[in-house]
Amino acid sequence: MNGIGGEPLRDWVVSVDLWGTLITYGDRNAEARWRLREFATVLAEFGHDLPNEQVCKAVMGVRNHTQQRQRATGEQFPVRDQVEQMLTALGLGRNQRLVDVLLIPHTHAVLRACPEVIPGAHTALWALKQAGARLVLTSNTLATPASVTRLILDDHGLTALFDQTVFSSDVGLAKPRREVFDAVAAAAGATVEHVVHVGNSVTTDINGALGAGCRAVLFNPRGKPCPAGVRCITSLNDMPAAVLDTCT
């Protein structure tokens, strides 16, 4: 956006997805191994010495099911409900003390993945701010609640770049539901017609934003086919110019 005078995005809100758009997912295998190891340890302490295969099937089964449901329908599954479903799958019922203890490894396992900032993120966000845009971080949460996500944002120097944050756990619904994008507009004091959402998922980010009446830019680093009429970028360095083009 170099060479553009004034603040051409003063009347616009730029909503940006987090996972896969601003930061990587990190080492998901390391995350899964640590979660499963901690689950097995806690269960054993509570007198449930179960085979690793059984624990893995229950934990990962619930993880995969809730993730697929969230992406398809926008349902938001509270972290406590997720752990309770895992215990039910293990045939252990709902011991609330056990749930309380398991919530820690369940919600903090992502830190073992060591997610990293995607190149160009800081520069692109600063350019959008300098162009007058109000920035909103708009992120679905599942196993990783807003409180843990904020630790990651702080660690990577991203928190101060955003004027507002909207997490699906706070809304009670997830992208692609239009209520999430309504919440973005409300948080920024704007209407959805003046929101541009940038994300890496056609289903949750692009279709969700367009369905809510927003504009959208697809971050598409792998160069997959792009939806008709949607501006696609393969590098975050191109995000400011793509947002500006989408708004004009």
Q: How confident is the model over 154-183, as a mean pLDDT?
A: 97
Q: What is the mean pLDDT of residues 7-19?
A: 96
User: Could you read off the pLDDT of 169-193 as tens digits, one per residue?
Assistant: 999 999 999 999 999 999 999 999 9
Chain segment 192-223, per-residue pLDDT in tens: 999 999 999 999 999 999 999 999 999 999 99
Residue 6: the pLDDT is 74
Q: Is the dihedral of CA 85, 86, 88, 94 positive or negative?
A: negative
Which pLDDT score is estimated for 2? 46
Delimit the domains of the chain by residue range. Answer: 13-25+115-247, 28-113
Q: Per-residue pLDDT for 240 more than 50?
A: yes
Identify the CATH class of 13-25+115-247. alpha beta
67 pLDDT exceeds 90? yes
Integer Cα distance of 78 and 99 in angstroms: 13
3-state SS of 169-222 is HHHCECCCCHHHHHHHHHHHCCCHHHEEEEECCHHHHHHHHHHCCCEEEEECCC
Q: Are 131 and 9 in contact (CB under 8 A)?
A: yes
